Chain A
Amino acid sequence: MNAIRTTLLLISLTFVLASCNDNDDVIDDFGQEILITDDVDCCSVDEARQVYEFIRKQKEITSLTQDIDDKYRLRVFSPTGSLHTGYNDLYFVVTKIVSANYVKDIEIKSFTPIMSMSSGMEHSTPFSGSIDNFDNGLLAIRHGWVSFVMNTSDNGSWNLDFDIRILKAEEHFSLPIQVDALADGQKWISQFKVGEEAYHISLVNPTDWKVGTNDISAQVTAVAADKKTPYLPADKKFTIDITPSMPDMGYHSAPEGTPLTPDADGLYNGVVNFTMTGLWRLHLTVRDENGIVVAGGDDTDHGFSSLSLEVTL
């Protein structure tokens, strides 16, 4: 008697989605009803709506979808629905199969991407360090990021290991994953060395960049002593100068922005300017906390630093 059954029909939202997204798979995924009950494990109407509104702007990595005990379904989303070299945002949700509603109490641990090279060598790649709640309004979503140093190819393949706890159920997954190469003219991750220590800089979502002035972000991670453990955000703080140039335009450079510096969460923020569309090389000069150049900053690439990234607008 006290079970108040509310059916949240998302049909209308599906139509909105259908009109702006030509990926039919995604529409089918969301075509189902989410059943809202008084199940305390799951979301309320408002919460479910917020989660749905958020994840429908992402795309599901269907190869990672897993059912657990025929009770729960793990779904992983990224902005593109696939994984590629460089920085990838990952969003994890778990639904109860019976209601399609989102479970709030989940935990993802021991997240370890591993590249097994054909040479026999194995190594991990930069990772946010945790997969966590990231927004108080979105209690059912967990977010983390992984930045792949290379793509899947004949030279090696990627595997993803992680543990998941859903309410009281626990499960371990070891899933092969496909990491696509970026298109030519895109190089979103680069390695540099400070003394004997190796670091990676990964651009955060450069697909959002456009001509004009851009607020940009990057993650700087340190290669772990054991290369088979994920490379976590570096403890050392750097200041990274960026000079954009266009190799196809005689190394025309755009007006200087502001260098990348880390905020309290360790995310590097800066400003970069682009004067036109096309291929831009971002030449990097890495300084330590005393302003001393510790990586890049040479002039061997047509007068610019040879430590660089590339984006194509």
Chain B
Amino acid sequence: MLSLLIPILLISEPDTAETHIDINEVVVASSARGGGQKRSAKGVAASIDEHLAELNHVNLIRRGTYAMEPVVNNMQDERVSTTIDGMKIFYACTDKMDPVTSYVESSNLQSITLSSGLDGNPQATGNIGGSIDLRLRKVGFNAIKPIETQALASYETNGSVRMAEADVAISRDRLYTNLGLSFRKADNYKAGGNDEVAFSQFQKYNIFVNVGSRIASSDRVEASLIYDKATDVGYPALNMDVAKAEAVITSLSYKHNFADGFFLTNETKTYYNKIVHIMDDSHRPDVPIRMDMPGKSWTAGLYNLLNGQGERSQLQINYDIYYNYRHADMTMYAADSDWKMYMLTWPDVSTICTGVAASDDITLGNNHSLRVSTKVAWQQQHIGSDDGYQLLNVFFPHMKQTYHQTELRLAARYTLQYNKWKFGIGGGWGSRAPSITEGYGYYLNNTFDNYDYIGNPRLSNEEAFEGNLAVSFTSNRFTLSADANIFRFRHYIIGHVENRLSAMTIGANGVKVYGNIDHATIANAQVSLSARFTDNISWDGNVSYGYGADDDADALPIIAPVQYKTSVKYLRGGFSASVEISGASKQTRVATKYAETGSEAYLIAGANASYSHQFGNVGTILRLGIENAFDRNYSTYSDWNHLPQKGRNVYVSCSINI
């Protein structure tokens, strides 16, 4: 993976001075066909969500301005693997208010790598839709500058988002370290038309340290620590807010470089992370019942990754094992009495999962290659709480307290280069075990369809066949790329209305229990064009579309309509400017069966400019931009309950680099 990223970092920058500054920025990379490298126009000031939004195949489900849920190939987190530097980490909120991408900061990262579909990164499991790996920033040994410091401040007018960040990188022959601190705070934002969106504030800070030590000429030890804490986070699309979302993410790894032979490196990493998520509705004025819904997740694991390179082969073999524990509960306070009601919503589920993955990039000839990857994983899930087990027993008499699953994935892709054309065709098969919520969740209210969801411990694994095609044409001044994929599911997991049960949440429509449907289909297609008119002026355009159907050929919910984006960019020396238009069509396949109400078409425009200049040893970058310039009031298909997007927003940021 590293070998994939370094060229991207270099290729993406035309000018060495700029490379030096920008190397500290997050690069979002897609290893999928038609991907390529992207970065947010806001640089490090951009949130992880804003970086993710740059990726093809990725959309974001928005419940507020903070902690958006990445959707890959129109599949949500159950079908997507997210890892931090290969480390497994699992969110702690039963309402998905804390996707794990919310526990890191842009300044922690070197890159975000997306692998589309079943061909995941080695540590990924259950990644039918894709896998995201957040690669931590490491300056490494013997960098050009032995000491480099960076400071950044930014301000956004809409919601007065304040962000400040400072970090230092020290790089010597035998030792390196990165230290960073960042802070963000936002007030309520305003949707188009100056409509303030209540409960959309947030605040977060993040501390990041990593240290590497060369203990022998070809052996290194690396350690990393992230402490991330968000407080007072509003979720305007939901009825609940978050008082605290806190993560400690640690790792210790040992890496050996082989002097010669087929194998290049062997890395062993152990890690531990813990998330505490405190959700409540204490600030909401009108709720039928007050409730606290805390959640907890901790994970400890280990992986060993062996990289090899031959004349025609790039081999990766990975072994990993992790243990994850999750608990969530709910305490409700009756409105007109002193009664407290307690319900266990995630019954202390522990998961032990271990797997072996292998991938090989095989050069078949001068102009064609084959990539194959596979992983087999075995897991055991145990309901630690006897009370929780008894509760689920009400619905599933004679269920077991421990379940075992085997997950498997296999993917292959053939790539052929013919003059300026490149063709790729791939396919795969994979399965995933049900998520904790799908298997063991207890009366979890989903405000999208307003049903209480009950997990089903007897679910079968979900399986999918994937097929994908990609074609691209590249000339000096013109690039066209198109790709499409289709996922044909068996035993697709989705909630089924259970009329015999009564909703727990006051005002809910009823109860759904997760079940397998015989089959379902999700397909995605996109076309990108870019042209360089002169050395300074370029144009990019991208159109994408998603399709989802259940076993009755009815639409699946939260599937992207036609979305498009086009921008013109001017670049000269340290100055760059661009104008961007983006939008989406009206959602035509609306999943009314799943309570979706459909989104309207919208079109928004924005512009940004940046200027970087080097004063001797001091590099500076100044950025300025406007988003939703015409202050449109709109929401996208993935805005939870039609939560309106930000209205006009002007941002400015300045970073200094010494």
- Contact between chains at A278 and B339 (CB < 8 Å): yes
Question: A246 on the interface (CB 8 Å rule)?
Answer: yes
Question: B289 on the interface (CB 8 Å rule)?
Answer: yes
- Contact between chains at B339 and A212 (CB < 8 Å): no
Cβ contacts under 8 Å, A249 to chain B: 289, 332, 341, 504, 506
Question: A211 on the interface (CB 8 Å rule)?
Answer: yes
Instruction: Tell me the chain A residues, 231-263 only, with Cβ under 8 Å from chain B.
Output: 245-246, 248-256
Question: A273 on the interface (CB 8 Å rule)?
Answer: yes
B513 CB to closest chain A CB (Å) equals: 11
Question: In the complex, A161→B343 CA distance in Å?
Answer: 45
Question: A277 on the interface (CB 8 Å rule)?
Answer: yes
- Contact between chains at B335 and A248 (CB < 8 Å): yes
- Contact between chains at A278 and B341 (CB < 8 Å): yes
- Contact between chains at A248 and B387 (CB < 8 Å): no
Question: In the complex, A184→B336 CA distance in Å?
Answer: 13
Question: A137 on the interface (CB 8 Å rule)?
Answer: no
- Contact between chains at A277 and B343 (CB < 8 Å): yes
Given A249-B506, A250-B506, A255 and B395 contact (CB-CB distance below 8 Å)? yes
Cβ contacts under 8 Å, A212 to chain B: 387, 389-391, 393-394
Instruction: Tell me the chain A residues, 241-297 only, with Cβ under 8 Å from chain B.
Output: 245-246, 248-256, 273, 275-279
- Contact between chains at A185 and B342 (CB < 8 Å): no
Question: In the complex, A33→B507 CA distance in Å?
Answer: 62
Question: B476 on the interface (CB 8 Å rule)?
Answer: no
- Name which of B337, B391, B505 has the most chain A CB atoms within 10 A of its CB: B391
Given A250-B288, A253-B502, A277 and B340 contact (CB-CB distance below 8 Å)? yes
Q: Which residue of B lies closest to A279 (CB)?
A: B339
Instruction: Tell me the chain B residues, 387-406 only, with Cβ under 8 Å from chain A.
Output: 387, 389-391, 393-395, 397
B385 CB to closest chain A CB (Å) equals: 10
**Number of A residues, CB within 8 Å of B:** 24
Cβ contacts under 8 Å, A275 to chain B: 343, 391, 394, 442-443, 504
B438 CB to closest chain A CB (Å) equals: 18
Question: In the complex, A246→B342 CA distance in Å?
Answer: 12
Question: B114 on the interface (CB 8 Å rule)?
Answer: no
Q: Mark B493-528, 1 if CB is under 8 A from A, else 0.
A: 000000011111111000000000000000000000
B421 CB to closest chain A CB (Å) equals: 60
Q: Mark A159-173, 1 if CB is under 8 A from B, else 0.
A: 000000000000000
Question: In the complex, A67→B390 CA distance in Å?
Answer: 47
**Number of B residues, CB within 8 Å of A:** 31
Question: A49 on the interface (CB 8 Å rule)?
Answer: no
Question: A213 on the interface (CB 8 Å rule)?
Answer: yes
Q: Mark B360-393, 1 if CB is under 8 A from A, else 0.
A: 0000000000000000000000000001011101
Question: B215 on the interface (CB 8 Å rule)?
Answer: no
User: Which residue of A246, A251, A254, A278 contacts B340 across the interface (Cβ within 8 Å)?
Assistant: A278
Question: In the complex, A275→B330 CA distance in Å?
Answer: 12
Question: B287 on the interface (CB 8 Å rule)?
Answer: no
Cβ contacts under 8 Å, B501 to chain A: 255
Question: A210 on the interface (CB 8 Å rule)?
Answer: yes
Prevailing SS type, chain A contact patch: loop
- Contact between chains at B500 and A255 (CB < 8 Å): yes
- Contact between chains at A213 and B394 (CB < 8 Å): yes
How many contacts between A and B, using CB within 8 angstroms?
A: 81
- Contact between chains at B334 and A248 (CB < 8 Å): yes
B504 CB to closest chain A CB (Å) equals: 5
Q: Mark A200-225, 1 if CB is under 8 A from B, else 0.
A: 00000000001111000000000000
Question: In the complex, A256→B500 CA distance in Å?
Answer: 9
Cβ contacts under 8 Å, A250 to chain B: 288, 503, 506-507
Q: Which residue of A lies closest to B337 (CB)?
A: A248
Question: A130 on the interface (CB 8 Å rule)?
Answer: no
User: Which residue of A213, A254, A256, A277 contacts B341 across the interface (Cβ within 8 Å)?
Assistant: A277
Question: A312 on the interface (CB 8 Å rule)?
Answer: yes
- Contact between chains at A254 and B394 (CB < 8 Å): yes
Q: Mark B325-352, 1 if CB is under 8 A from A, else 0.
A: 0000010101101011111100000000
Q: Which residue of B lies closest to A251 (CB)?
A: B502
- Name which of B387, B394, B507 has the most chain A CB atoms within 10 A of its CB: B394
Question: In the complex, A250→B287 CA distance in Å?
Answer: 12
Q: Which residue of B lies closest to A250 (CB)?
A: B506
- Name which of A211, A246, A275 has the most chain B CB atoms within 10 A of its CB: A275
- Contact between chains at A248 and B289 (CB < 8 Å): yes
Cβ contacts under 8 Å, A251 to chain B: 502
Q: Mark B94-120, 1 if CB is under 8 A from A, else 0.
A: 000000000000000000000000000
User: Which residue of B288, B341, B389 contacts A276 across the interface (Cβ within 8 Å)?
Assistant: B341
Q: Which residue of A lies closest to B506 (CB)?
A: A250
Cβ contacts under 8 Å, B339 to chain A: 185, 248, 278-279, 312
- Contact between chains at A278 and B332 (CB < 8 Å): yes
Question: In the complex, A213→B393 CA distance in Å?
Answer: 7
Question: In the complex, A58→B504 CA distance in Å?
Answer: 37
- Contact between chains at B342 and A273 (CB < 8 Å): no
Cβ contacts under 8 Å, A246 to chain B: 341
Cβ contacts under 8 Å, A276 to chain B: 330, 332, 341-343, 443, 504
- Name which of B330, B502, B505 has the most chain A CB atoms within 10 A of its CB: B502
Question: In the complex, A249→B341 CA distance in Å?
Answer: 9
Q: What are 9 A-B contacts defined by CB distance under 8 Å? A: A211-B391, A212-B390, A213-B390, A213-B393, A249-B341, A254-B394, A275-B442, A278-B332, A279-B334
9 more contacts with CB within 8 A, not counting A249-B504, A255-B501, are: A210-B387, A212-B391, A213-B393, A213-B394, A213-B397, A254-B502, A276-B330, A277-B340, A278-B332
Q: Which residues of A contact B (CB under 8 A)?
A: 184-185, 210-213, 245-246, 248-256, 273, 275-279, 312
Which 7 residue pairs spanning A and B have beta carbons closest together? A212-B390, A278-B341, A276-B343, A248-B334, A250-B506, A253-B502, A277-B342
